[in-house]
Structure 1
Amino acid sequence: MRRALKDLSLSAAVAGFVAVLVGFTSSVAIIFQATQQLGATSAQTSSWIWALGLGMGITSLGLSLWTRQPVLTAWSTPGAALLAATSGVRMEEAVGAFIVCGALITIAGATGWFERIMDRIPIAIASALLAGVLARFGLDAVLATRSAPLLVVAMALAYLVGRRWLPRYATPLVLLAGVVVAAVQGRLQLQAVDWGWALPVWTTPRFTLTTLIGVAVPLFLVTMACQNLPGVAAQRASGYRTPVSASITATGLATVVLAPFGGYAFNLAAITAAICMGREAHEDPARRYMASVMAGVFYIVIGLAGGAVVGLLHAFPRELVAAVAGLALLGTIAGGLSAALKEDKHRDAAILTFLVTLSGLSLLGIGSAFWGVVAGAVSLIVQHFRQR
């Protein structure tokens, strides 16, 4: 604990807050859609936020302190989208599917087969995958100038000033500039926040063959392919060799334990984790783990406060969230592209991976991150098959 307190810095704490801000505001609406589709009551919806916040917070906090590396977890966003598109499934049947999904994730981690797959992916492909996943956020930051030019330009100037004279505090300056401009413009909707604590609500699971096939297995597949795959790639591309099997196992166990309360699927984060692994978190890579530790603390607070914190995060204009995410990730995007295109023999495969991932292509219900890796792997096989 002493070492953790010694390694704590303002830049790490702000990076953790920005990661949580981006993670919640970018996809919490999908969570609400999923709960509504499953017929959840308002108390059950609040319990989902409680379970998801505590699950992400405890796993991020525990794994980061254990490994001394920035390990950030998240809920499965494509999994929530899958649930939001599901019809005819009752809440208790869905909970049974969540438990089975968590068991499958635990097996994938404990047996080590997922880590063995990741060890075969070259660093150029992993870096291109990371850059492709994150570049969309950079584009969104630029496009946000169409609806809020003054806000985004002010934040961009704050970023440039920070990078020139206070590089460790560039992201805090961006966030501060955005909040000040939004407040002056009257765009902070604080009056809509409903203050109150969230309480867990138990739902007794029911296991059926139809939900096993129609919910549990697809939820497991999209979580592994669309979330854990880029999550591990983000770590490898940033130079961290986090124990993959142990991390995946931890997220699976958290899913099994918290599923009856709404913790439907946990996984390694990629986009928000990149914020915690960049230079903006700390100049010393060995001290960046405190960014994900602080993110874990913020997630726990969100889980306990429930709807109040979600409402507070929604008080920020969407352009502010888009701009702070895009600007905070610029260094990581540039680093990923640099590593991806560094070696001539991997350059074609890397650029294919980057473009397919950036495209947002979705086939067979699987997102572009998976197909980006497939495109890069096919390119490597064709170009280097049986070559020394």
Structure 2
Amino acid sequence: MEQVTQRSLIADSTLSTVSAGFVAVMVGFASSVAIVLQAAAAAGANEAQMVSWIGALGLGMGLTCIGFSWYYRAPVLTAWSTPGAALLATSLSGVSLPEAVGAFLFSALLTLILGISGAFERIMSRVPLPIASAMLAGILVQFGLSIFTSLEANPLLLGSMLAAYLAGRRWLPRYGIILVLSAGFVVSWLLGEIHLEKLSWALGKPQWVTPAFDFSVLLGVGLPLFIVTMTSQNIPGVATLRASGYQKVPASPLIGGTGLASLLLAPFGGFALNLAAISAAVCTGPEAHPDPQRRYTAGIAAGFFYLLTGLFGASVVALFAALPQEMIAGVAGLALLGVVSSSLAGATADPESRDAALIAFLITASGVSFFGIGAAFWGLLGGLVCHWLLVRRR
């Protein structure tokens, strides 16, 4: 049986799914690794401990991506909590590293309890698909816009990448993103915008920090970390799966699994793992593979690349720093165009829900934040309120 499963995985894997996994990791890693390092610095971590943070997060994301995607046969991607890292970067002043680790454990325990209790599944079952699709479109639309804002800053680089994308869509749709990556790297190299002088390869070493528990830190850091991660990351992450057609993947075990992984890795710097939304969208759309049943291999490929980032944490940070930001923005935006299109179509498919979905889209796309909670949550809440007033009451 194991040999049959192994052959099935090899047969289902294609160059497009592997490249989608790579792009997802590049998007997720490069867009927010600086925030994670800022959070580690705010906690008082030294250089070795910062590398340990990247290693723990890479290990956790890699194993959970591979495990979830393999078990559920769906492209389930996890990520570190970027809003959580931003919260930590601004709220850990005066908090010792052991106390910060104690807050990480508290947040992870709350996540685990919410997952194994099944409460998260019941919450998500009440979210209409047009609202979830609209929220996802609102999250991703900024990445589509970044293609053209970067085009203004670097027209030759982004113009060549856009031309490669259109050529791929016309003649090689399964390999469009590979062409975009290749064009971006070649043009960046010719323009002298890739700097590999300081790049060296070295394995990172885990650094254990014994946790300390302070009640005020648990409430002031651990509880907000849990709330921000749940509302700004996990809810959009589940919405990404639902909007892409993976309705049968249960949400609560995924939430519980990320909570358990965070609980185990917190002493090494794994402050919060959650379901991915933006990077997951790269692997859940048709760009990864035309057949939805074979896209799970993109999630497994992403897990493999995350494991590499964990093993070579310091080196990978230097590698991404060597690439021009316009190239990274262009790859991310072009890889997500198909998902933005399908999400907008799902949001506006039902005429009765169209107004509520539009409200959810606009609030999410606006980027507003209240009480430290991001726009995705408020977009979802606004859409649900409008849906209740305009559709259910009708």
Q: TM-score range by the shorter chain?
A: over 0.9
Matched, 1:18 2:23: yes
1:380 to 2:387 alignment: yes
In structure 1, distance between residues paired with 2:393 and 2:224: 35
In structure 2, the partner of 1:364 is 371
Q: Secondary structure at the match of 1:329?
A: helix
Aligned position for 1:343: 350
Describe the superposition over 1:329-382 as per-residue Cα deviations: whole angstroms up to 9, x where unpaired: 001000000010011100000011001000000001100000001110111121
2:143 matched to 1:168? no
Residue in 2 that maps onto 1:43:
48
Long gaps (5+) in structure 2: 1-5
Q: How far did 1:158 drift?
A: 0.3
Question: Among residues 58, 67, 87, which one is paired with 2:72 in the alignment?
Answer: 67
User: Equivalent of 1:201, from 207, 210, 213?
Assistant: 207
Are 1:325 and 2:349 counterparts?
no
Q: Return the match for 1:353 from 360, 364, 372.
A: 360
Deviation at 1:147, TM superposition (A): 1.5
| Cross-structure match for 2:262 | 255
Residue type at the aligned position of 2:110: L
Taking the aligned partners of 1:61 and 1:311, their CA distance within structure 2 comes to 25
Give the deviation of 1:306 after TM superposition.
1.1
Task: Describe the SS at the equivalent of 1:361.
Answer: coil
Deviations 1:300-341 (A, max 9, x none): 011001110121122110000000000010010000000100
Query: Which amino acid is 2:191 matched to?
Result: Q
TM-score of the two chains, using structure 1 as the length reference: 0.99
1:281-296 correspondence to structure 2 within 5 Å:
281-296=288-303
- Which ranges in structure 1 are unaligned for 5 or more consecutive residues? none
Aligned counterparts of 1:192 and 1:138: Cα–Cα separation in 2 = 32
Shift of 1:57: 0.3
Deviations 1:163-198 (A, max 9, x none): 000000000000100000000000111112232110
Report the equivalent of 1:121.
127
Quote the Cα distance in structure 2 between the aligned partners of 1:281 and 1:130: 18
Matched with 2:83 is 78
The CA distance in 2 between the partners of 1:246 and 1:109, in whole Å, is: 6
Q: Secondary structure of the residue that 1:190 maps to in structure 2?
A: coil
Per the alignment, in what secondary structure is the counterpart of residue 274 of structure 2?
strand
Stretches of 4+ aligned residues off by more than 3 angstroms: none
Which of residues 298, 312, 319 is equivalent to 2:319?
312
- AA aligned to 2:381 is V
SS in structure 2 of the partner of residue 164 of structure 1 = helix
Aligned residue for 2:79, secondary structure, equals strand
Map of 1:28 onto structure 2 = 33
1:299 aligns with 2:306: yes
Q: CA deviation at 1:384?
A: 2.8
Counterpart amino acid of 1:312? L
8 Å CA contact retained: 2:353, 2:391: no
Residue of 128, 132, 136 corresponding to 2:138: 132
Partners in 1 of 2:391 and 2:12 — Cα distance? 44
Count of residue pairs brought into register by the alignment: 387
Which residue of 1 is the match for residue 235 of structure 2?
229
Q: Which residue of 1 aligns with 2:63?
A: 58
> SS at 1:74's partner residue?
strand
Q: Which residue of 1 aligns with 2:96?
A: 90
Structure-2 separation of matches of 1:340 and 1:286? 23
SS in 1 for 2:32: helix
Tell me how far 1:279 sits from its aligned partner: 1.0
SS at match of 2:329: helix
Tell me how far 1:385 sits from its aligned partner.
4.2
Native 8 Å contact 2:206 2:268 kept in 1: yes
Deviations 1:178-230 (A, max 9, x none): 00000000011111223211000000000110111001100000000000010
Taking only the aligned residue pairs, the percentage that are identical comes to 54
Give SS of 1:267's match.
strand
- Kindly provide the amino acid, as one letter, of the partner of residue 48 in structure 1: W
- Give the TM-score normalised by the residue count of structure 2: 0.97
